[in-house]
Amino acid sequence: MKTILVTGGAGYIGSHACKALATAGYLPVAYDNLVYGHERAVQWGPLERGDLLDRDRLAAVVAQYRPAAVMHFAAYAYVGESVGDPGKYYHNNVTGSLALLQTMCAHGIDKLVFSSTCATYGNPVHAVLDESHPQAPINPYGQSKLMVETMLRDFDRAHALRAIALRYFNAAGADLEGVIGEDHDPETHLIPLALGAAAGKREPLAVFGTDYPTADGTCIRDYIHVQDLADAHVSALQALEQGAPSGAYNLGTGEGRSVKEVLDAIEKVTGISVPHVFGDRREGDPARLVADAALFQRAFGWRPQHSDLPTIIRSAWQWLNRTAS
């Protein structure tokens, strides 16, 4: 059984990737400092508590488990916080990733799947974004991820460390078996905030902007089920094992859903109308962010299987009710 080191393996997407790895026959070793991750989310392999910036601890874990490859999720990911404290994001996301890459090289590990983001594109120029879209991040979070993508290309050229960067759009939903789910603190994502409001566990949802140039005036986003994301990571890993070259790919569905459409879908799934209030637009929120993921689909034969809006909402609702009980 091959061992895979999963940085950030106690987090939202990382823990789902650990489950997907175990299902595919790998042993995932979660390496997480538990600042935002949850120990209870690590159920498919060992948890090693540590920080990427603690090079001695990282090297010891790598030497102990001798992973065949790495999935790299560990990062700070709050856009607003990154604007107010950019040093925190560059130190953790960029310097931490550099420490990881150097540790991999020192131990002869030459395959990595990287959790990147559509935030590397910045303000969209086109209605649907493919990988040729200019990368011009508008916040330090997106910039930090773009800097890591640059490092990956350089490490490939210098050290033959092959890496596939996956630029997510809007991850959503929860494990379809109800074992793990989204549990951020603070929570900033639309669907868990809306479901929390519907359940009476949060304040009414704030809808920012109703005058966008969209059919109903609210923002449009591309929501992809977290299990589809996790499966895509396994597909990328298996391609690297078969000799695939480095690359960067979008992960999304190609279908945009507005905030109002999400609220209507929540009411259909739960039978509860989401309490909400309308506010002004937030600075930096584009009207539409939708992925063209055809490049990844063609290269790896992956297709989203669970990313229809009712399935996303139903899984997240079940997770919310399970954690409440």
| Contact assessment for residue 312 and residue 169, using Cβ atoms and an 8 Å cutoff | no
| Contact assessment for residue 256 and residue 263, using Cβ atoms and an 8 Å cutoff | no
What the block records as the tokens of 196 is 């929390």
Q: What tens digit of pLDDT does each residue of 68-123 get?
A: 999 999 999 999 899 999 999 999 999 999 999 999 999 999 999 999 999 999 99
DSSP E strand stretches across the chain:
3-7, 27-32, 47-49, 69-72, 111-117, 162-168, 170-172, 205-208, 220-221, 223-225, 247-251, 257-258, 276-279, 288-289
- Please give the mean pLDDT across all residues of the chain: 97
CATH numbers and ranges of domains, the chain: 3-169+225-251 (3.40.50.720), 190-222+254-324 (3.90.25.10)
Helix (H, G, I), strand (E, B) or coil at 260: helix
Residues involved in catalysis = 141
Measured CA to CA, the distance from residue 187 to residue 118 in angstroms comes to 19
Measured CA to CA, the distance from residue 113 to residue 266 in angstroms comes to 33
pLDDT-based confidence at residue 325 (cuts at 50, 70, 90): low
Q: What tens digit of pLDDT does each residue of 159-217 get?
A: 999 999 999 999 999 999 999 999 988 999 999 999 999 999 999 999 999 999 999 99
What the block records as the tokens of 230 is 């996790």
Helix axes 226-241, 12-23, angle to 10 degrees: 60
Q: What tens digit of pLDDT does each residue of 132-149 get?
A: 999 999 999 999 999 999
Once rounded to an integer, what is the mean pLDDT over residues 235-245? 98
pLDDT-based confidence at residue 283 (cuts at 50, 70, 90): confident
Give the pLDDT score at 129: 98
Give the pLDDT score at 323: 85
Helix (H, G, I), strand (E, B) or coil at 118: helix
